[in-house]
Structure 1
């Protein structure tokens, strides 16, 4: 049964922490600019609990624990890299953490461990059923309120991506198949196995359950591993036939693995597929079937790709507007459209400039950005620079310059096609509309000032903060949904840290203004006093001179 948390906390006479604090401690505890009060106001109280109403029954069951508090607990956990036991210890006994959660009395309860775990599980199951990620919606709701209150413009945005490894072990091909079969057999009905399989097949199953795949690889030669790989393929083929009526997750994983790793010929002989034919989106671990393999500039990852988008206007506060997680083999240019749409919805102004690296370039992205009346500013585009410089004028005449020989000539447009050609020493060279646009874009990038190109580079600091606790680029989670949860929670904290810094800097600035005003007032007052003293001294000198003149006149 869903129930919203009251936004107005009731203070208790006997359990109010203020009653037990000294004056100095109480001032810090109640200070609006302190992190715990800022977190309560800018994060905890901004969580829209109605988004999570779909997780609870509308009629039966006891009321839920505070959704707002549980979301805030998840954010604090990722902010400090606490374990679950550390999280609950801090929430029970740390006054500042309790204040950040909106717990104003010493005896205000926190959700129990089982309630907290069930809440996370419900979020995962909700998205697994095809629904939106609720923490992604929460991030958008909280950030939109923050952007409105702090007048975050969002005219300029920038984005970058990062590869993150899943919390799985790196497995060789044999180890992957061995562990998948081992996992399936450990969950299968053993009585049915003994009935359906032959004695030799049962011995193979028992040996699989008794030994890890890495130990098999360690003690066997390469040829022996190849033979064992074929034996495993035959065993999987038999298991899939025996349990063909089974429809659980373990059977689905085993079936997918067999299709990716083995072929069956017309004589029903199982043959391992060539290594080169296995796709990067094949299963990398039976414990995380979502993660994919990618080799990006020598960085080999079995996991996910995370894209972060943030505002980058000069002056004022800049916030992250969106974070998207996809499987590792996703191209960077697939992130751009959604990132711009999110920024447009969250920030106060329309997006005018989008700063990104060359991996985000594609003709469709260029067209999309133009349709939004914005400009895509790239610091490069992928691929080597061409041999020919192409210049298409407003009359449709293409001038081609060979950068190697220096020869320049006018190209001939082919009839009924978007192609041009020039005569070279040996043959004709043809140019497409795509090549002309790419050349024009390269020249445009070369003309962009370096200070404009540097704007994109600073987003790498945000990427660093996102994965700050994962120095080896490997997370503590498994599965795409849990990585989405982690990314949005972590970005909520990064945005809060920026807000806290912004508020502190403004407070310091205001304090300096007050001090400066006091100094100016003091200087003005001092000047006025000095002027008055000088005026009095002048009058005294005048009176003295008159008195002396009178005395001299009387004497004479």
Structure 2
């Protein structure tokens, strides 16, 4: 049964704090603890977590603000669960931050933490249309932090980074075995055919994976797939088994890794190049996908981060995060997140790298009144000896008004579904043009045709803008620091490889890490302000007017 925790608002008359030496108490007040208690612990809205518990039955829940704070502190210092609870039991700073003025006031065991996480996960799965509760806390705390620090949010920067869940990279053979073993283990052992029972024996794994030569890998894979097909066929007559997630995974693996050959009248193994990036990568995490970015191969997810970047701010806060399968392009995530970022923070300028450039992103940004700034552009560079599209007079990115030499087209139109701009010029005039060899207009018998996509024009305009060294320098300078933010979250908060699996769990954990990062920034802001106050007090002290003489 849900109950709010308000006990911290009324402390005991005599407690550890009141018995402290004044100098010790002064040191405690200068630490991060009072900042956390006032600006995080007391700002947690416990009522939002009421749906996780029964309304009118059962014993009262452990305080949500304490459980949630333990999760924040875990990711703030990258603790394990054992280290976290040890700090909670014996570190008075942790107890004070969580509203307790004596050590040992409330006992919390590992099972309590696990149960709280399970409730969060199940609620998120059951309400996919809602923002998860951790994201709601992130936004609530962010609004409070911005109100305290009064930082500007009109300028922001965005970047994405690969996130790997708690899985191992597995080749096709190892993955086929894992899927098969998991499916067989989910079935009643006494009902299994003898050929499938052997899959669970240690000797079978040794023979299939460790004693096979590289040239035998294909044959071993076919053998495992045959056993998988046998398992699917056997469970087809048992609906209660066929509907299990482990058996669904076997069916998915067969569909993704094989194709039906009508000549041989059986399924054959696909070539590596024919397997899609969204295919199964781990038997433990069905959501993880494959992506090759540059020369690096990545398995798992991608996290898109946005933070403030105004030079007038003393510190910068993360304003948005989103975790998606890593086969989702940066431009898609930017186009999806922009409306919400604009609504919550009022961003007017967004700095990104070339991977976020795209027609959809540009259109969405224009609609929202957001100016996109890029450090570079991906893709092939246009030929230096050709006239760029920006030299043509194009109205509203839709209608060609004139060529660089001033010739007006005889006809022009814009194909909106395809995003294609077309213009026809007088071929006689084009043939006599001194810049004919460099012009992208194609001279035909009865007309001279200019045709290009709207995205190509947008790219040409961006390249022209980046041609200015000052513009590129400013864009790079504004965006560069987000690389440090990504590094701080991945290395300092343990996001390089998460301790969980699955997209929902990974998204919840990344939300906790982003909250921890923002609190770290809030701590830095208070330290900056304390230093400024100290410097002012030193400067305003009156100088000594002489040496006093004792009477």
Output the TM-score relative to the length of structure 1. Answer: 0.85
Cα deviation for residue 432 of structure 1 reads: 0.9
Partner of 1:27: 26
Evaluate the alpha carbon distance shift between residue 470 and residue 414 of structure 1 in structure 2; reply closer, same or farther with a 3 A threshold: farther
Assess if the C-alpha contact under 8 Å between 1:5 and 1:68 holds in 2.
yes
Partner of 2:3: 3
Assess if the C-alpha contact under 8 Å between 1:5 and 1:67 holds in 2.
yes
Evaluate the alpha carbon distance shift between residue 130 and residue 157 of structure 1 in structure 2; reply closer, same or farther with a 3 A threshold: same
Partner of 1:373: 369
Assess if the C-alpha contact under 8 Å between 2:160 and 2:304 holds in 1.
yes
Report the Cα distance in structure 2 between the residues aligned to 1:416 and 1:498, rounded to whole angstroms. Answer: 52
Report the Cα distance in structure 2 between the residues aligned to 1:141 and 1:372, rounded to whole angstroms. Answer: 23
Partner of 2:134: 135
Q: Give the count of matched residue pairs.
A: 505
Report the Cα distance in structure 1 between the residues aligned to 2:344 and 2:358, rounded to whole angstroms. Answer: 25
Cα deviation for residue 112 of structure 1 reads: 2.9
Report the Cα distance in structure 1 between the residues aligned to 2:160 and 2:408, rounded to whole angstroms. Answer: 40
Please state if 1:385 is matched with 2:405.
Answer: no
Partner of 1:514: 537
Cα deviation for residue 105 of structure 1 reads: 2.4
Report the Cα distance in structure 2 between the residues aligned to 1:212 and 1:323, rounded to whole angstroms. Answer: 44
- Secondary structure (helix, strand or coil) at the match of 2:246 reads helix
Partner of 1:451: 474
Assess if the C-alpha contact under 8 Å between 2:280 and 2:287 holds in 1.
yes
Please state if 1:502 is matched with 2:525.
Answer: yes
Matches within 5 A, 1:50-89: 50-89=47-86
Assess if the C-alpha contact under 8 Å between 2:493 and 2:513 holds in 1.
no
Partner of 1:465: 488
Partner of 2:154: 155
- Secondary structure (helix, strand or coil) at the match of 1:522 reads coil
- Secondary structure (helix, strand or coil) at the match of 2:192 reads helix
- Secondary structure (helix, strand or coil) at the match of 1:511 reads helix
Assess if the C-alpha contact under 8 Å between 1:293 and 1:300 holds in 2.
yes
> Which of 76, 96, 109 matches 1:112?
109
Evaluate the alpha carbon distance shift between residue 510 and residue 416 of structure 1 in structure 2; reply closer, same or farther with a 3 A threshold: closer
- Secondary structure (helix, strand or coil) at the match of 2:157 reads strand
Partner of 2:218: 226
336-345 or 111-120: bigger deviation:
336-345
Report the Cα distance in structure 2 between the residues aligned to 1:10 and 1:206, rounded to whole angstroms. Answer: 64
Cα deviation for residue 499 of structure 1 reads: 1.0
Please state if 1:474 is matched with 2:497.
Answer: yes
Report the Cα distance in structure 2 between the residues aligned to 1:411 and 1:111, rounded to whole angstroms. Answer: 78
Cα deviation for residue 6 of structure 1 reads: 0.7
> Which of 513, 522, 528 matches 1:490?
513
Partner of 1:323: 321
> Which of 405, 413, 419 matches 2:422?
419
> Which of 347, 350, 356 matches 2:352?
356
Q: Which runs of 5+ in 2 are unaligned?
A: 415-420, 425-429, 444-448
Matches within 5 A, 1:58-457: 58-131=55-128, 132-194=131-193, 199=194, 201-202=195-196, 205-207=197-199, 209-211=201-203, 216-244=208-236, 245=239, 246=241, 247-266=243-262, 268-316=265-313, 317-347=315-345, 350-387=346-383, 388=386, 389-390=388-389, 391-393=391-393, 396-399=400-403, 416=413, 418-420=421-423, 428=443, 430-434=450-454, 435-447=456-468, 448=471, 450-457=473-480
- Secondary structure (helix, strand or coil) at the match of 1:335 reads helix
What whole-Å deviation, never above 9, does each CA across 1:90-128 have from its counterpart, x for those lacking one?
101100011112222234204332221111011111122
Assess if the C-alpha contact under 8 Å between 1:171 and 1:285 holds in 2.
yes
Matches within 5 A, 1:522-533: 522=543
Partner of 1:404: none
Evaluate the alpha carbon distance shift between residue 308 and residue 293 of structure 1 in structure 2; reply closer, same or farther with a 3 A threshold: same
Cα deviation for residue 152 of structure 1 reads: 2.3
Report the Cα distance in structure 2 between the residues aligned to 1:212 and 1:291, rounded to whole angstroms. Answer: 27
Q: Which runs of 5+ in 1 are unaligned?
A: 401-407, 530-556
What whole-Å deviation, never above 9, does each CA across 1:61-113 have from its counterpart, x for those lacking one?
11111111111101111122211111111101100011112222234204332
- Secondary structure (helix, strand or coil) at the match of 1:467 reads helix
Assess if the C-alpha contact under 8 Å between 2:351 and 2:479 holds in 1.
yes
Assess if the C-alpha contact under 8 Å between 2:303 and 2:321 holds in 1.
yes
100-109 or 74-83: bigger deviation:
100-109
Assess if the C-alpha contact under 8 Å between 1:283 and 1:290 holds in 2.
yes
What whole-Å deviation, never above 9, does each CA across 1:183-242 have from its counterpart, x for those lacking one?
111221112213xxxx5x24xx41454247587344222342212211222211121122
Q: Which has the higher Rg, Structure 1 or Structure 2?
A: 1
Assess if the C-alpha contact under 8 Å between 2:155 and 2:350 holds in 1.
yes
Evaluate the alpha carbon distance shift between residue 469 and residue 482 of structure 1 in structure 2; reply closer, same or farther with a 3 A threshold: farther
RMSD: 2.6
Cα deviation for residue 21 of structure 1 reads: 2.7
What whole-Å deviation, never above 9, does each CA across 1:359-401 have from its counterpart, x for those lacking one?
111112111111122211111222122123121226734546x
